[in-house]
Structure formats: C-alpha cells, structure tokens
Amino acid sequence: MITYFRHIALFIFAVAALGAAPENFHLKNGDRVVFYGDSITEQRLYTTFAETYVLTRFPKLNVSFVHSGWGGDRVTGGGGGSIDVRLKRDVFAYKPTVMTIMLGMNDGRYRAFDQSIFDTYANGYRHIIRSVKQTLPGIRITVLQPSPYDDVTREPGFPGGYNAVLVRYAKFVADLAREENLNVADLNTPVVAALVKAKEVNPQLASRIIPDRVHPGAGGHLLMAAALLKAWNAPAVVTSVTIDAANRSVTEAVNTSVTELKADGSGLTWVQRDGALPMPLNRKDRALMLAVQSSDFMETMNQQPLKVTGLAEGRYSLSIDGEKVGTFTSRELAEGINLASLPTPMAEQAAAVHDLTLKHNNIHYARWRQVEVPLESLKLKTIRPAMDALDKLEAEIVLQQRAQAQPKARAYRLAPEQ
C-alpha cells in the first residue's frame, strides 16, 4: 500500500496547486478514501461510480480511493478474517482520512427480526467505530444505511419481508451516526422508491435492478452512489450556459468559459472550456436507464443545461466537435436542454475516465485478493516485489485516469435543420 501512494504522490504534488476543493463538498484536497463493507461493496460499483463522479466533477481535486469490500462480511468479520484483522490490513494500513462503512445485509441473516442477532450487530458496529477512531484520530466516517433487499419486484419471503429488517438496522446506523458525530447516507430508501416506480413501468426489467434481491446491478448501484454523493453535498450542476442568439451574447456561464461566439448563417458557433464532465451513463444497459428514469438522478446529480434564446422559430441541429448530438425546436432550446442526457463528446470522455476507474480498482483487487492475502502465509521473497509492481501499475493507470478527467475545449455549432 505504501508503495502505491509513493507512486501516486508525484502526481498529487504536480496538480495540487491548480485548484482547491469546493468549500461545501465533503472530500478535500489530499483525502484518501477507503470504502469498507461486504459483497455489495466488493462489487466495486457504487464505489467506482462515486469515484468517477468525484474525478469528473472536480478534475482538479486530488483524492485517492481504496475499495475494501469482502463478500459475506458482517460486523464481526468473515472470510477475510476477524473484524480486527480486516480493519488493520484493509483499512488502517492505507491511513485513510475518509472512510465509508456499509454492513448489515449479512448481519440480519435473511430472517425475521431477532433481537439477539440485532444486538450482535449493534455491539459489533460500535466496536468498529471505536477502533477506527482510536487508530485514526480525525478520520471522517460516513456510515451507510444498508442497501435494500428487493421485496418490491418479488413477494417477501416472510411477513413484513427482509428489507423491513434492514430498515430497522438502518435506523440504528442513523442513531449511531448522531451519537458519534458521523456522516450518514441512506442507501435504502431511494432505491426502494425507484424500484416501486420502475415496477409500474416494466415489472420484468425492474427486477433486474437488483437481480438476485441482494446484489444490485449497475442501475441500483448508481442510485446508491448518488445517495452517498448527496450526503457528501455533491452538486447537481456540471455546467450551465445561456446564450442570447438575437444579441449574440452569453448571459450565463457557470463552471465553464464560452468564447468565440459567432453567427453562422442563421445559426451559431462557439467554443466552451468546461470545468467538469457529466456523469457517464451506459445507455445500452436497459435496467440502468430504467433506474435512472425512475429516480431523481438526472435532476440532482447530472444537470448540464444549455439554453439558447432569441432563435427564429424552427428546428435546430446541435453538433459538438463535429458530432451531431441532437435536434431540437427553438422552444426546447429556449427552455433549455440537458446535455448530460445526450451522447456528447464530453460523455464519451467521462466514460473513458470510468473505464480507467474500473481498471485501476481491478488491479488493486488482484493485488489484495490474489497475492497479499492468500500468499501471506507462504513467506515467499517474491511476494513484496510482486505487490510493489502491481502498486506501480495501478499508479500508472491512475495517472491516466486523472489526465483523462481534465476537460477539453469543445467546438459547438447550432444550425437550422435543412
């Protein structure tokens, strides 16, 4: 772990002076985040969505991320060792400044509420918080209320259903957060609400949001990431631009600069250099898009409005860097379109960032789960060099990830449809 951070330190030093963290955002320049949890965290989906959001929305903010989820874990630990082993090896060793914890799905044991089982959860969770605070004074902890067991698109297995048990566990997590002055995010309520809406639209597809009732697909994880990011005071707006075509003037430019605005026949051209990228969405994933449409994700997480007033009545084609992204009426343009909902070059760039997010996390996972843990007892001389080499490889990918996240100047053209 130390080697990994030594490799990435040069990058952090090189860009730290370029910009400070937004004042109200939970993460700060130089933070190191460890995501801790069970198999739902091990899926590396809500965590990588959150990481990609941070990189694309705040490309000058330098934060590193470690994903330490282990399938089957409870507050007492699991296949990766006891809770104290897990914390020492998979959290404390990275010296995080920020930690998220999501446990509970396995702790309830998939049965009706049982007080003794719950007491084990409550006592174990309190032990985790005490241990983390004692070992890492000043760490900022976000506790995550457990994600849902799907009792919406399938019938509950017993009266009341298992998700009702998780909701009781979630209340404890929220109460503990108040007692211990922790940040808290509800990863259950918004996903359940989306499941209800999605079921009304397409029951069969809605069941794929959490395919096995426990482990969400990408759509469920995207909503969970949004819930975490909201708890971190993440802003909805990527950029916001308003252009007065009649006067050929820019009346609003939020988190972007608009230059070289010119009349092009009865249309317009201009150049934008944005301060952020939109959150990428895999539009081929029908279940993900249903989850998005059944939630407030676009309104609260992914707003990139473009308004153009003063156009002659008609239909207009919008191109960015020579790529057509859509056709709109003059009224639609005057009211505003959300570029984040369109297949723009900025979205393509953000998708490339996310691909690198996945790649570096997969390298870390291989280092941890295929080398560090299973080979530790063999005391081989080559284990440390192998881990160092994987740390270096991951750091190289992170450099590319951060470079890819930097926005580029984009050429816009708005022209009447022929």
pLDDT of 23 strictly over 70? yes
Q: For 301-358, write each residue's pLDDT tens digit.
A: 999 999 999 999 999 999 999 999 999 999 999 999 999 999 999 999 999 999 999 9
| Cβ neighbours of residue 212 closer than 8 Å, sequence gap 6 or more | none
- Cα–Cα distance between 22 and 24 in angstroms, integer? 6
pLDDT of 394 strictly over 50? yes
pLDDT classification of 5: cutoffs 50, 70, 90: very low
pLDDT of 373 strictly over 80? yes
| Burial degree of 10 (CB within 10 A; 0-12, 13-18, 19+) | exposed
Q: 317: part of which helix (H) or strand (E)?
A: strand 315-320
Identify residue 398 by its one-letter amino acid code: V
Q: For 235-261, write each residue's pLDDT tens digit.
A: 999 999 999 999 999 999 999 999 999
Identify residue 348 by its one-letter amino acid code: E
Strands 81-82 and 98-102: unpaired
- Cα–Cα distance between 406 and 37 in angstroms, integer? 31
Q: What does the pLDDT average to over 349-371?
A: 98
3-state secondary structure 249-305: EEEEEECEEEEEEEEECCEEEEEEEECCCCCCCCCCCHHHHHHHHCCCHHHHHCECE
- Cα–Cα distance between 65 and 323 in angstroms, integer? 34
Nearest to 210 by CA among 191, 227, 228, 229: 191
Domain ranges of the chain: 2-235
Q: 364: part of which helix (H) or strand (E)?
A: helix 345-366
pLDDT of 271 strictly over 60? yes
CA distances for 417 relative to 131, 268, 332, 356, 410, angstroms: 64, 13, 14, 37, 21
Supply the pLDDT for residue 4: 41
Phi/psi at 86 (5° precision): -60, -45
Neighbours of 322 (CB within 10 A): 8
Could you tell me what percent of the chain has a pLDDT over 90? 93
Q: What does the pLDDT average to over 149-169?
A: 98
Matching residue, tokens 């009224």: 331
pLDDT of 97 strictly over 80? yes
Supply the pLDDT for residue 138: 97
Q: How many CA atoms lie within 13 A of 319 on its CB side?
A: 12
Q: How close are the terminal C-alpha atoms of the chain, in Å?
A: 59
Mean pLDDT taken over the chain: 94
- Cα–Cα distance between 222 and 290 in angstroms, integer? 11
Please give the DSSP secondary-structure letter assigned to residue 71: T
Residue 158 in tokens = 């017993």
Q: Which CATH superfamily is domain 2-235 in?
A: SGNH hydrolase (3.40.50.1110)
Supply the pLDDT for residue 418: 75
With beta carbons less than 8 A apart as the criterion, state whether 39 and 215 touch: yes
- Cα–Cα distance between 279 and 412 in angstroms, integer? 20
Supply the pLDDT for residue 14: 32
Q: For 53-73, write each residue's pLDDT tens digit.
A: 999 999 999 999 999 999 999
For the residues of 189-214, what is the DSSP string, one character each? Answer: HHHHHHHHHHHHH-HHHHTTSSTTSS
Residue 252 in tokens = 């609003």
